[in-house]
Amino acid sequence: MLSKRGLISFILAVFALLMIWHGWKLGQPMILADTMTDRLSCVSYAPYHRPHQTPFEKSMYIEAAQIEADLKVLAQRFDCVRIYSVDQGLHEVPRIARQLGMKVLLGMWIGRKQSDNEKELVRAVDLARKYPDTIRAIVVGNEVLLRGEQPASAMLTYIERVKSAVPGTKVTYADVWEFWLRNRELADAVSFVTVHILPYWEDRPVDIDNAVGHVSHIYQQVKDELKGKAVMIGETGWPSFGRQRQGAVPGMVNEARFIREFAVRAERENIDYNVIEAFDQPWKRQSEGAVGGHWGLYDTSDTPKFPFRGPVAEAPAWGHAAFVVMGFFFAALAFMHRRRLNGNFALALFAVSVIGGGACTGFWREMAMANRTPLEWTVTSLYAIFLVAAVFSLGHPLAAWCARCDPTPNLAPVSHLVRWARRNDQSFDGTGRLLGALRIAFLFGAALVCLLLVFDSRYRDYPLALYSAPALFLALLSWINGKSAADVEEIVLAAWIGFAGLWIAVFEHIVTSQNEPWGLAVGINQHALAWMGLCLLLAYSVLGPIIASLRARQG
């Protein structure tokens, strides 16, 4: 049977191997199905992919030169673009698309404000009359019923007005498929039905293995229920980054897989479709979390995120960076202990460095992919510093204890940061100022994240990388020390984190549906379970010794 020292060494080794495997997997090319051609039918286009561009800013105007550059990129892979408004410079899209030989699904934005709706209608009708050979159809409103901004009766009025104004142009309305089945009267008014089928966003999210089959099934169901009315899939796609929803996991490989497999299925079943979307949209992170900004087939610099044929890797650059950072931490820690370094200590430091390096690289990637505002960059940068400090101030005394050696480094200027272990002893003093500061910082951050995930979870991300190394190191040090000098505030935070972690893991798998008040979702959310594990480790770092002490007294 392993001793405590052996068991902790084993735990560190397992976590290190998991970090190495994850870094390797990020750069591993995956073989996927190829599309039948190098071109797809149609793609949603929004030009707000440059820094500080957002449709929420009413004065925002996109120059025709940018739209032309974007459409020249898209014309290489798509025959058609769908736009959602004719405001903020988007009225130039039909003119430029005609020059490039592309078709346009012309969207007019319908919201709550009647005056804005009238402006959209007048401009859309004018463009349809001016470019009749370029505009495939006018899309009168997008997910207006889903947002609850207009009733179905008002949408019928808008549709009839547009049909009367441009009798030679097809007219449709676009919404999530459930809302078409709830408002079937709209189907009789449009030239064809435009449905949105997004497996990731379903009330019961669909995993990538079943996503394309789900889209095909819903498409056929809508056609059957609307008695043979022509149907177009107006939005379908998969995000390349963000939080997992039950069994639906965002990722570059999964996005490429969905687009390729769907394109093949659509060709085989003669499905008219439009994929979402052309370019990543950073502004969507504000309302939809990190996942909202990563639905593009191109990144924000107009570069294709993946080819339509050949292998695809998740994130090779970040995978390579992870190994570089792991090596940096090991070199730094080894240098600090160069005169006392032996084989066992080197192995222990290597495990700590791998865990810390993988965590830091993962968190820096999350920062780059998720941050939106100066405040977010400030807060996450501060926690990035805390994370690096945790690797040195928590990880290396842990390695020293496992290797039965003196953890005190040779560099006098930083020695006060790392004197957590009594010289040549097996126990640790958990009252160090830096250790206490780091523990309260990570407890407070995790408690806030749990609060948001419990009460507003749909668009919240799981910051797994940030808390992975600190949670593990703090829990193991607490187990070694066997005593706690926690304040009341830390005890309260730890109790909340432990409870909330369990709550999140359980209720992530429970959804509401029309047929069942409570239905168990299909698929295991590994992100939620991993977050629960980190929450329990953080809670144990404070509560574990206290519970053990109480049990000892009772015994």
Question: Which whole number is the average pLDDT over 18-39?
Answer: 93
Question: 311 falls in which pLDDT band (50, 70, 90)?
Answer: very high
519: pLDDT strictly greater than 50 = no
How far, in Å, are 37, 237, 285, 494, 532 from residue 461 at the CA level? Answer: 36, 20, 11, 20, 13
364-396 burial, b for 16+ CB within 10 Å, e for fewer?
Answer: bbbbebbbeeeeeeeebeebbebbbbbbbbbbb
Predicted pLDDT of residue 367: 94
Q: How many CA atoms lie within 13 A of 316 on its CB side?
A: 8
* Cβ 238 vs Cβ 255: under 8 Å: yes
Third-level CATH fold of 31-293: TIM Barrel (3.20.20)
pLDDT tens for each residue of 402-448: 877 655 554 333 333 334 333 333 334 433 567 788 899 999 999 99
Q: To the nearest whole number, what is the mean pLDDT of the chain?
A: 88
CA 284 centroid distance within chain: 12
Question: Which whole number is the average pLDDT over 462-478?
Answer: 94
Predicted pLDDT of residue 467: 97
Between 413 and 8, residue with greater pLDDT:
8
483: pLDDT strictly greater than 90 = no
Predicted pLDDT of residue 261: 97
Distance CA(194)–CA(222), nearest Å, equals: 10
Predicted pLDDT of residue 428: 42
Positive/negative CA dihedral, 176, 180, 182, 185:
positive
pLDDT tens for each residue of 159-218: 999 999 999 899 999 999 999 999 999 999 999 999 999 999 998 899 999 999 999 999
555: pLDDT strictly greater than 70 = no
Distance CA(531)–CA(504), nearest Å, equals: 9
Q: Where in the chain is the domain with CATH 3.20.20.80?
A: 31-293
Question: Which whole number is the average pLDDT over 234-246?
Answer: 95
Structure tokens at 86: 């004719």
Q: Which is it for strands 510-511 and 519-520: parallel, antiparallel or unpaired?
A: antiparallel
Question: 339 falls in which pLDDT band (50, 70, 90)?
Answer: low
pLDDT tens for each residue of 41-93: 999 999 999 988 999 998 999 999 999 999 999 999 999 999 999 999 999 99
Q: Which is it for strands 43-44 and 510-511: parallel, antiparallel or unpaired?
A: unpaired
Q: Is 6 helix (H, G, I), strand (E, B) or coil?
A: helix
Predicted pLDDT of residue 514: 36
CA proximity to 370, closest of 282, 277, 244: 282
Question: Which whole number is the average pLDDT over 396-401?
Answer: 84
Question: Which whole number is the average pLDDT over 238-249?
Answer: 93
Distance CA(363)–CA(448), nearest Å, equals: 17
Q: Is 193 helix (H, G, I), strand (E, B) or coil?
A: strand
How far, in Å, are 74, 252, 260, 399, 534 from residue 237 at the CA level? Answer: 16, 12, 10, 45, 31
Q: Is 516 helix (H, G, I), strand (E, B) or coil?
A: coil
Question: 484 falls in which pLDDT band (50, 70, 90)?
Answer: low
Question: Which whole number is the average pLDDT over 102-113?
Answer: 96
Question: Which whole number is the average pLDDT over 436-464?
Answer: 91
Question: Which whole number is the average pLDDT over 476-483?
Answer: 84
Q: Is 109 helix (H, G, I), strand (E, B) or coil?
A: coil
Distance CA(236)–CA(82), nearest Å, equals: 13
Predicted pLDDT of residue 410: 46
pLDDT tens for each residue of 253-291: 999 999 999 999 999 999 999 999 999 999 998 888 899
Question: 99 falls in which pLDDT band (50, 70, 90)?
Answer: very high
